[in-house]
Chains A and B, each alone.
Chain A
Amino acid sequence: MKSGRFGAWLAMAIGALYFLAPLIATFEFSLRMRRGEYSFDAYRVVLGSSAFHDSFLYSTVLGAVTIVVGLLVVVPTAYWVHLRLPKLRGVVEFITLLPLVIPAIVLVFGYIKLYGSSSILPLTTTSLGADALLMFGYVGLGLPYIYRSVETALRAIDVRTLTEAAESQGAGIWTILFHVILPNIRSGILSGAFLTFAIVIGEFTFASLLDRPAFGPYLQLIGANRAYEPSALAIIAFALTWACMGLIQLFGSGIRLSADKR
């Protein structure tokens, strides 16, 4: 067992080195804004801009909504495919892989064509409509990750037995899904939520072409012409997103606690 732990620590150490080195390099560069000495000037510039606050807030809220809608779409589907409709698995999985290979620009142009001002469902003309369209686009982008994580988690538990046990106690479908299955696939849900949130925060093409004030376009704007601010921004975004992940993690552990209480 001891050798196992040493191996584990070694793996973590090498991993940490690989992942931290680029972050350290970026951080070091961001400190160079003032000639000849290290300073936090670049950070001051970034944190002082209202565009930064507004766009980050917008993307954070949008990310939270995307996660909820995404889970509502994916979890029942993964559950039913696993339990009752295994023949659909191939089709469903292929669909979930599509967002990875369809270029974002093709999707967005498709949205503008189908939901533009002269269509049956003119979502682009109102602020809320465009926000909704963007959110659905993001659910699409997060789909592969949410589905794969939830599906992996479902495989790891005995869905059939859990369902039958709950049914024999008289539980209806909603109870089964939310109070029996969900707490047991918590890690899958969390993984999916993390991945989706990260995507939403950094996403550029959709937000830009749909003309929404998200964080991605702001990042792109700063990166285009500035030298040191983009690096500072990358570090800040990384730190803030990590903090949000921590919050999601805390929230996620809340699900288990409430299930335990029952």
Chain B
Amino acid sequence: MMSKTNLQQSLKVWASVAAMALAVGAAPALAAPPDDLIAAAKKEGQLTVIALPRDWCGYGPMIDSFKAKYGLAVNELNPDAGSGDEVEAIKANKDNKGPQAPDVIDVGLSFGPSAKKDGLLAPYKVSTWDSIPATAKDADGYWVGDYYGVLSFAVNADIIKTIPTDWSDLLKPDYKAGVALAGDPRVSNQATMGVYAAGLASGETDAAKAAAKGLEFFADLNKKGNFVPVIGKAASIAQGTTPILVFWDYNALGARDTLKGNPKLEVVVPKSGVVAGVYVQAISAYAPHPSAAKLWLEYLYSDEGQLAWLKGYCHPIRFNNLVETKKVPADLLSALPPAEGYAKAKFPSLDEQAAAKDVIAKQWDAVVGATVAK
């Protein structure tokens, strides 16, 4: 149920992206990093990353090939960290150049500008800068969008016989004690966007109002006994406590691969209320290894890096540019869910995200949660 303005907005995003792609179609997308940068990075010898689970967006193979290509050591801190953790890690390690200090961060969209404001980031424009959509990067180069995905339903097909196709389906009695979020909506970006998406599905376009509608939806879901207040993961889907999980599509697809059919996992992009989440890369202003950090960014935004993300089911930010210049292998494209789901995706702006989060985080307990459910 996409309203006209929402569709227009999505189309605007895609139009600007397409325009960009056409304009820079001739630009050398295979811009290699300058040799002196590589030399400087090798001298530093190490890169410290944080919050990069090996199974998320194919980061595992990416880190390994980066290590092999440039001979640098990569120190992987706390893969389970959230965006807030990453920012706190930079702050806590301002005066510490030891291996506990992250060089680069990969955070939710709203954290880019706020970290920039706090003076925690260092600017850098990668060589493929021009092929990145303007809406997905900071004009001064302090942060840049890296990949996006849409919220989907990860469904345990062994337990759930009728696969839900839309948010409204979830309210049906077939899904008693079946639906969960992959985080705490007061804390996790993924969960908050889930509530927001449910609200968008009702047709509401204003961010704060959609957030309120989303809260109502979950309150209803909870009253009907369909909502499970557990933070869902691959394990809980398999065990059966959270047979339907609202998950980023790349997480759901990754889980499907990990589970190897045991149980069978269906990944469904809902018919309405499709929300895209953009993550951004940034270099820490206090990075102990700034050249290594820049080299890492160069690698991520090269064709090789971007396609590696695609292999991990994450849509890289230069996706349209790569498609235009026919750099995407056919088998990668076919492994992704159908493109129609993404065409309707709503990319919430920074203001919209902030408005939605404000409503959801503050009112979740009052509207949905149980303060003392004995």
Interchain CB contact under 8 A, A33 and B262:
yes
Smallest distance from the beta carbon of A222 to chain B beta carbons, Å?
Answer: 10
Interchain CB contact under 8 A, A224 and B93:
no
C-alpha spacing A32/B261, complex, angstroms: 12
| A contacts with B: majority SS | helix
Asked whether any CB of chain B lies closer than 8 Å to the CB of A198, the reply is no
Smallest distance from the beta carbon of B54 to chain A beta carbons, Å?
Answer: 8
Interchain CB contact under 8 A, B96 and A223:
no
C-alpha spacing A223/B88, complex, angstroms: 23
Interchain CB contact under 8 A, A208 and B78:
yes
Inter-chain contacts of B32 with A (CB < 8 A):
none
Q: Given A109-B92, A225-B258, A226-B234, A211 and B239 touching (CB < 8 A)?
A: no
Interchain CB contact under 8 A, B96 and A124:
yes
Asked whether any CB of chain A lies closer than 8 Å to the CB of B95, the reply is yes
Inter-chain contacts of B75 with A (CB < 8 A):
211
Q: Report the interface size for chain B: residues with CB under 8 A from the other chain.
A: 32
Interchain CB contact under 8 A, A117 and B98:
yes
User: B231-263, CB under 8 A of A: which get 1 and which 0?
Assistant: 001110111000000000000001100110111
Smallest distance from the beta carbon of B285 to chain A beta carbons, Å?
Answer: 15
Interchain CB contact under 8 A, A209 and B259:
no
Q: Given A32-B262, A35-B261, A220-B80, A225 and B98 touching (CB < 8 A)?
A: no
Interchain CB contact under 8 A, B53 and A125:
no
Which of A73-81, A189-197, A227-235, A244-252 is the contact stretch?
Answer: A227-235
Inter-chain contacts of B96 with A (CB < 8 A):
112, 116-118, 124-125
Inter-chain contacts of A217 with B (CB < 8 A):
78
Smallest distance from the beta carbon of B250 to chain A beta carbons, Å?
Answer: 12
A223's partner among B56, B235, B254 (CB-CB below 8 A) is B235
A2-50: which have CB < 8 Å to B?
A: 29, 32-35
Q: Given A33-B262, A112-B92, A113-B92, A225 and B78 touching (CB < 8 A)?
A: no
Inter-chain contacts of A33 with B (CB < 8 A):
262
User: B23-53, CB under 8 A of A: which get 1 and which 0?
Assistant: 0000000000000000000000000000001
| B contacts with A: majority SS | loop
B89's partner among A118, A130, A209 (CB-CB below 8 A) is A209
Interchain CB contact under 8 A, B100 and A124:
yes
C-alpha spacing A32/B88, complex, angstroms: 39
Asked whether any CB of chain A lies closer than 8 Å to the CB of B352, the reply is no
Name B263's closest neighbour in chain A (CB-CB).
A35
Asked whether any CB of chain A lies closer than 8 Å to the CB of B79, the reply is yes
B262's partner among A35, A105, A124 (CB-CB below 8 A) is A35
Inter-chain contacts of B233 with A (CB < 8 A):
223-225
Asked whether any CB of chain A lies closer than 8 Å to the CB of B55, the reply is yes
C-alpha spacing A221/B80, complex, angstroms: 7
User: B55-85, CB under 8 A of A: which get 1 and which 0?
Assistant: 1100000000000000000010111100000
Q: What would 12 more interface pairs be, CB under 8 Å, given A109-B92, A208-B77, A221-B53?
A: A35-B262, A117-B95, A117-B98, A119-B95, A208-B78, A221-B54, A224-B53, A225-B53, A225-B55, A225-B233, A227-B235, A228-B238
15 A-B contact pairs sorted by A residue (CB < 8 Å): A32-B238, A35-B262, A109-B88, A109-B92, A112-B92, A112-B100, A130-B99, A209-B78, A210-B100, A217-B78, A223-B233, A225-B53, A225-B56, A227-B238, A230-B235
In the A-B complex, list the 7 residue pairs whose CB atoms are closest, starting with the nearest.
Answer: A116-B96, A124-B98, A227-B238, A35-B262, A118-B95, A225-B55, A109-B92
Q: Which residues of A contact B (CB under 8 A)?
A: 29, 32-35, 105, 109, 112-113, 116-119, 122, 124-125, 130, 208-211, 217, 220-221, 223-228, 230-231
